[in-house]
Amino acid sequence: MKISYTPKEIMTIMAAREIKNGDIVFSGTGISMLAAMAAKKINAPDSVIFFETGAMDSLLEEIPFAVADPRIMYWAAANSSLTDAFATMQNRITGDRVIAILGAAQIDPYGNLNTTCIGDYYSPDVRFSGSGGGCDVASFVPRCIAFMQHEKRKFVKKLDYLTSPGQLTGNGSREAAGLRPGGVSVVVTNLGMMRFDAHTGKMYLDRYYPGTTPDMILEHTGFAMDVSRAVQAAPPTDTELKILRENCDPQRLILGPVA
Amino acid sequence: MKISYTPKEIMTIMAAREIKNGDIVFSGTGISMLAAMAAKKINAPDSVIFFETGAMDSLLEEIPFAVADPRIMYWAAANSSLTDAFATMQNRITGDRVIAILGAAQIDPYGNLNTTCIGDYYSPDVRFSGSGGGCDVASFVPRCIAFMQHEKRKFVKKLDYLTSPGQLTGNGSREAAGLRPGGVSVVVTNLGMMRFDAHTGKMYLDRYYPGTTPDMILEHTGFAMDVSRAVQAAPPTDTELKILRENCDPQRLILGPVA
Amino acid sequence: MNNQLDKTMPLREAIRRYVKNGAHISIGGFTLNRNPMAAVYEIIRQKITDLHLYAHSNGTGLDELIGAGCIAKLEIAYGGNGKAAPTCIRFARAIQNNEILFEDYSNYMMSLRFMAGAMGVPFLPTLSGMGSDMLTTWGFSESMRLSDPKIVNKKLAVVDNPFGNWGGAKKVVAVPAINPDVTIIHVQQADIMGTCRIKGLTFADVEQAKASRHVIVTCENLVEKAVLRENPDMNQIPFIHVSAVCHVPFGGYPTAVYGHYDYDAQYLKQFAAAARDENAFTAYQDRFIFGVDNHEQFLKQVGKDRLEAVAADPRTGYSVNMKRD
Amino acid sequence: MNNQLDKTMPLREAIRRYVKNGAHISIGGFTLNRNPMAAVYEIIRQKITDLHLYAHSNGTGLDELIGAGCIAKLEIAYGGNGKAAPTCIRFARAIQNNEILFEDYSNYMMSLRFMAGAMGVPFLPTLSGMGSDMLTTWGFSESMRLSDPKIVNKKLAVVDNPFGNWGGAKKVVAVPAINPDVTIIHVQQADIMGTCRIKGLTFADVEQAKASRHVIVTCENLVEKAVLRENPDMNQIPFIHVSAVCHVPFGGYPTAVYGHYDYDAQYLKQFAAAARDENAFTAYQDRFIFGVDNHEQFLKQVGKDRLEAVAADPRTGYSVNMKRD
């Protein structure tokens, strides 16, 4: 089988399919923005894109490169503030309708994320940007998609720093800590798609892409993972790819070079 | 001595004199609005009038008849919201510069106010409007002026309902309850002006107007009050009266009939 | 409350659909300004009863609803209506005659309670009210609270500052969140999706709307989406919070709507006079509420003269030199 | 901070007067948008040190201040600067090299902390962060906290909901208030008294300003009072909060100022490149900061071409089709 799409393209499409019509999509920039745009144009026309900086349903004539990009301030339903944006997610009436897209440097078997540092917190080998809104979103939002490159050093048994809570240590520990149900529910990588067991809270392989196998994915994962439920993902359709390429990022600013 | 001003006029002037240049004046409507306007035109040109409804430094081309009167929304520095307005007072940086003007149905020897009811709370003889912002203002603001008609039934030993905290039971009980220093610090009536002892927190007569005496005032007060410190108030000057009458309320909408 | 593209519907339908007997509701505005009066009259006309009303200071709408017997339980900071009624008359009577259950708060407490609901936190702290009878005197009994999951278990709570004396306060008053079933607000502009622009003071409307399961918006002007999108900074409520949009010109009358019309001091005075006498009050209701089918007919009953008298001056946003006493 | 009629002063004077060595400060904006960059460069030029910076997500300004060694202590949610530097480079280095004391929070936590300061309450509650290392890992030690009255005794605290399970939460995270000595913001319009109008998103500027003992405002346009008073609904910060007003066109450059200019992707890239190398960084600072006397000269050094390239399109408020990578 000839694979006629790039890893970025299938990742975007897999994430876009998670977005339902009517969802309020919390978006960062880069590929998460593209997934939100693709969903709106393909399968969820009445979904709404919003940003932690306070813009709701902006008209994105150009792709924004930051969540504070002035491009998100144009033609919004309302321009508000950080406190308003986070309240929209903390508030259950609106927050329960939000789906969020996050990235991270590390993820553990329970979907907890690290965006803070590698090594000791006080004197790290590598320091990252920090939580930003990540911890808030993972605390408030029932469904979060995590975008990751699938590498052993990123899929780790234990995080160097737990920035954004997933299922914590599983088995209901998230709710016991005082958090609402939620956090990362899907992990989309360049190799496949992971979900979390409803009872144990542990990551399992849900879909492997055409051209990958469960074994290949396990080789790139730093912890044991259930792959017994895995099936092959339906590849991006021609329609999905056409809309993504022609209507979402024709300049390939985010998609990058063609396959 | 011929008294050439009305009780309302001397009350307004006495209150206006309490307002210092630079003060932020929390104002209700009626005579409190007039006192704020008079201060601005006589002795405190850089004082700022603001309303619990959220308008700051409005241009009052007509006298507003309610704190939600659209007349206060015109030419303000900012139109905001209730939560913003109260935060301005709760915030010590701005709140410590606020002087407020309140009214009440009852006041007790410690400057606590009742604006809720006469009789039993659950089945009152007379029900009033309730706290509104009164309790908040009395809780937050270091200096509050209370306007009252001086009557025995209004100056009572014990309130039927404590709506807005003054010195509570005196002797530091206000601070012990968790409140900041503040509350009613001056009571301006048709007969004289009362203040509160710094140590005991008890009301004492500070000034009696020309034409009244400490004894006359005690007759109209429902509790024992120290009058030993009382001196006669300096009557309104010709300039004060002229500005009040000609520039503040030329139609006598609030001042009412001339003396 | 949804992202549907078109949420417009007749006011009668919006009230029928979202304001059920026994619902917990709040209405926007403040005393004699921007109360959703068309909606209030429609609630009365539909004879909806047993409502639980959360109010900070809704004078005109509050007193009509209480006067009509729609309200069973009331949480409130202030019941007054400007010069016409420094204390709302039907409100005072209902309390004096033991006709409703009621509980008193301060204005900031009520505003914070809506804000807590909008923020999705169970409570917010304030330094207001320690030592007042608001803290100690509950209007709703403990047993009533425990038997009704829609009422919080305690009225207010004093809690220690977990950060010692940080902020100069050893303790704070925690005020519990409110999340009404439905909030009704009247705004100057809305589009068919429900994005709202309020002109002048917003009072607590934004917090009330965002705290609610459903929001009914009545608007002076139903505008094209583009009108609002051209200046997103001026829109306070994005459509995601809104369930129904009803185009009701003069929907705030007899209260003021900044930039459109002033409060009608004469109407409010007439209401206050009627409110003091049972026969007069019934006659008032028969003429202005039950005797008409909808707000358009109500406005005809009021008469063109009154509407013209309160028309706002375009410069100041209110009716200049209007007779107000 | 005062009601004086005229608070205008040169930026140099405002920084000299209000930003002392060791001061606790915050700056407005978000990553690459509306940072008060002229003020940041002036702080660096005046070699002010030992600052305690409260930041939610101030990329550009943050990294310049840290790079110049002005910051001793940092409370922060996010140090990134868009495409040019997903993690701020001098920020990461300073932490990796143990050059500053730092403490991590989430963005909402920091925003709420400013909001608590603005509201005058010692803390605000949130449901964010339980189970995260933010709660358990303090950047400032207990002994340091107890020895400095300007630092709160605990980083964060989990407290019980005093209303049982009301709001669906048995406990909340309390975040302590911040009250900076001075906050510096850059806005589109201000008048000489200090009333401000921000266009586009306000981020946390309003909360930061209202929480501060002093506020320095730099503005693109110093406008007549009447311009702002004609539409009070669009003004977010009334003059009572403001200590100094400085008229500094392009005062946010190289970050974006909505409706005026875009971020300069080229400048940010050049900064990021220089930030990775000590010699290059010194050369960068010598050229753009220490080699010029003030912001006007800085802009000359930047050159007209760059300023023209980022000029905002009047319809969209940003520079359409600008080269950004």
pLDDT of A30: 85
pLDDT of D1: 46
A240/A245 Cα distance (integer angstroms): 9
CB pair distance less than 8 Å for A65 and D324: yes
**Residue whose structure tokens are 């080269």:** D323
Residue D124 distance to chain C (closest CA, Å): 7
* Cα of A148 vs its chain's centroid, Å: 8
Phi, psi at residue C47, to the nearest 5°? 55, 40
Contact list, C153 vs chain D (CB under 8 Å): 163-164, 166
pLDDT of C2: 55
Enumerate the domain spans of chain B: 7-248
**Is the CB of residue B94 less than 8 Å away from at least one CB of chain D?**
yes
Identify which of D67, D64, D66, D61 has the alpha carbon closest to the alpha carbon of residue D183.
D61
A111/C195 Cα distance (integer angstroms): 36
Identify which of D134, D120, D115, D231 has the alpha carbon closest to the alpha carbon of residue D173.
D134
Question: What is the CATH code for B7-248?
Answer: 3.40.1080.10
pLDDT of A2: 60
B21/A37 Cα distance (integer angstroms): 56
Q: Which helix (H) or strand (E) holds D226?
A: helix D225-229
Do chains A and D touch by CB distance (3+ pairs < 8 Å)? yes
Residues contacting residue B14 through CB under 8 Å, at least 6 positions apart: B188, B193, B207, B233
Q: Testing the interface with C: which of D112, D123, D201 to mutate, by most C Cβ within 10 A?
A: D123
Closest chain D residue to B48, measured at CA? D3
Instruction: Indicate if the pLDDT at residue A226 is higher than 80.
Output: yes
Average pLDDT over residues B233-244: 96
Contact list, C252 vs chain B (CB under 8 Å): none
Cβ contacts from A onto C, under 8 A: 69
Is residue B50 a contact partner of residue B27, using CB atoms and an 8 Å limit? yes
Which chains does chain A touch, 3 or more C-beta pairs < 8 A?
C, D
**Is the CB of residue C177 less than 8 Å away from at least one CB of chain D?**
yes
Q: For residue C243, give both structure tokens.
A: 């369930």
Residue type, A155: F
CB pair distance less than 8 Å for C3 and A46: yes
C255/B66 Cα distance (integer angstroms): 12
Q: Testing the interface with A: which of D53, D133, D170 to mutate, by most A Cβ within 10 A?
A: D133
Instruction: Indicate if the pLDDT at residue B2 is higher than 70.
Output: no
Which chains does chain C touch, 3 or more C-beta pairs < 8 A?
A, B, D
Contact list, C236 vs chain A (CB under 8 Å): 78
Residues 203-262 (C) with a CB less than 8 A from some CB of D: 233-234
Is residue B186 a contact partner of residue B146, using CB atoms and an 8 Å limit? yes
Is residue C227 a contact partner of residue C284, using CB atoms and an 8 Å limit? no
Closest chain D residue to B86, measured at CA? D119
Cβ contacts from A onto D, under 8 A: 204
Is residue D267 a contact partner of residue D240, using CB atoms and an 8 Å limit? no
Identify which of D72, D25, D106, D61 has the alpha carbon closest to the alpha carbon of residue D254.
D61
pLDDT of C1: 46
Residue from B18, B52, B61, B240 carrying the catalytic annotation: B52
- Does the active-site annotation cover A52? yes
CB pair distance less than 8 Å for A124 and D87: no
CB pair distance less than 8 Å for B83 and C204: yes
Closest chain B residue to C323, measured at CA? B253
CB pair distance less than 8 Å for A94 and C241: yes
Residues contacting residue B40 through CB under 8 Å, at least 6 positions apart: B19, B47, B49
Nearest Cβ partner of D233 from B22, B79, B90? Answer: B79
Residue C40 burial (C-beta neighbours within 10 Å; 0-12, 13-18, 19+): buried
Residues constituting chain C: 325
Residues 151-170 (A) with a CB less than 8 A from some CB of D: 161-165, 168
Residue B251 distance to chain C (closest CA, Å): 12
pLDDT of A212: 97
C308/C261 Cα distance (integer angstroms): 9
**Residue whose structure tokens are 């001003």:** B5
Is residue C81 a contact partner of residue C268, using CB atoms and an 8 Å limit? yes
Phi, psi at residue B148, to the nearest 5°? -140, 150
Average pLDDT over residues A121-141: 97
Average pLDDT over residues D272-289: 97
pLDDT: which is higher, D323 or C118 = C118
Residue C234 burial (C-beta neighbours within 10 Å; 0-12, 13-18, 19+): middle
Enumerate the domain spans of chain D: 11-121+179-222+234-310, 123-176
Per-residue pLDDT reduced to its tens digit, D95-134: 999 999 999 999 999 999 999 999 999 999 999 999 999 9
Instruction: Indicate if the pLDDT at residue A3 is higher than 70.
Output: no
Average pLDDT, chain D: 97
Contact list, D126 vs chain A (CB under 8 Å): 90, 136
Instruction: Indicate if the pLDDT at residue D264 is higher than 60.
Output: yes
Residue C82 distance to chain A (closest CA, Å): 33
Closest chain A residue to C177, measured at CA? A91
Interface of D with B (CB under 8 A): 1-5, 117-121, 179, 193, 195, 210-213, 228-230, 232-233, 235-241
pLDDT of C3: 59
Nearest Cβ partner of D233 from C161, C167, C200? Answer: C200
CB pair distance less than 8 Å for D238 and B57: yes
> Angle at Cα B74 formed by Cα B13 and Cα D189, nearest 5°?
115
> Is the entire prediction scored with pTM above 0.95?
yes
Average pLDDT over residues B37-55: 95
Half-sphere exposure of A211 (CA within 13 A, CB side): 11
CB pair distance less than 8 Å for B56 and D240: yes
Which residues does chain C have with pLDDT short of 50? 1
DSSP state of C53: E
pLDDT of D68: 98
**Residue whose structure tokens are 């009259």:** C41
Is residue D33 a contact partner of residue A70, using CB atoms and an 8 Å limit? yes
Contact list, D172 vs chain C (CB under 8 Å): 121-123
Residue B134 distance to chain D (closest CA, Å): 18
Phi, psi at residue C60, to the nearest 5°? -65, -50
3.10.300.10, 3.40.605.10, 3.40.1080.10, 3.40.640.10: which CATH number matches C11-121+179-222+234-310? Answer: 3.40.1080.10
**Is the CB of residue A149 less than 8 Å away from at least one CB of chain D?**
no
Cβ contacts from C onto D, under 8 A: 96
CATH architecture of D123-176: 2-Layer Sandwich (3.30)
Instruction: Indicate if the pLDDT at residue A244 is higher than 70.
Output: yes
A109/A166 Cα distance (integer angstroms): 9
**Is the CB of residue C118 less than 8 Å away from at least one CB of chain D?**
no
Residue from A18, A52, A61, A219 carrying the catalytic annotation: A52
Nearest Cβ partner of C234 from D162, D166, D233? Answer: D233
Residues contacting residue B128 through CB under 8 Å, at least 6 positions apart: B105, B114, B115, B116, B117, B118, C87, C92
Average pLDDT over residues A90-113: 97
CB atoms within 10 A of CB B259: 11
**Residue whose structure tokens are 């992971």:** A194
Average pLDDT over residues B134-149: 98
* Cα of D5 vs its chain's centroid, Å: 26
Closest chain C residue to A140, measured at CA? C120
CB pair distance less than 8 Å for B126 and C158: no
Q: Binning pLDDT at 50, 70 and 90, where does residue D3 land? A: low
CB pair distance less than 8 Å for C32 and B90: no
Residues contacting residue B188 through CB under 8 Å, at least 6 positions apart: B11, B14, B15, B145, B146, B147, B148
Residue type, C139: G
Report the share of chain B in percent with pLDDT over 90.
93
pLDDT of B3: 66
CB pair distance less than 8 Å for D78 and A132: yes
Per-residue pLDDT reduced to its tens digit, B109-129: 999 999 999 999 999 999 999
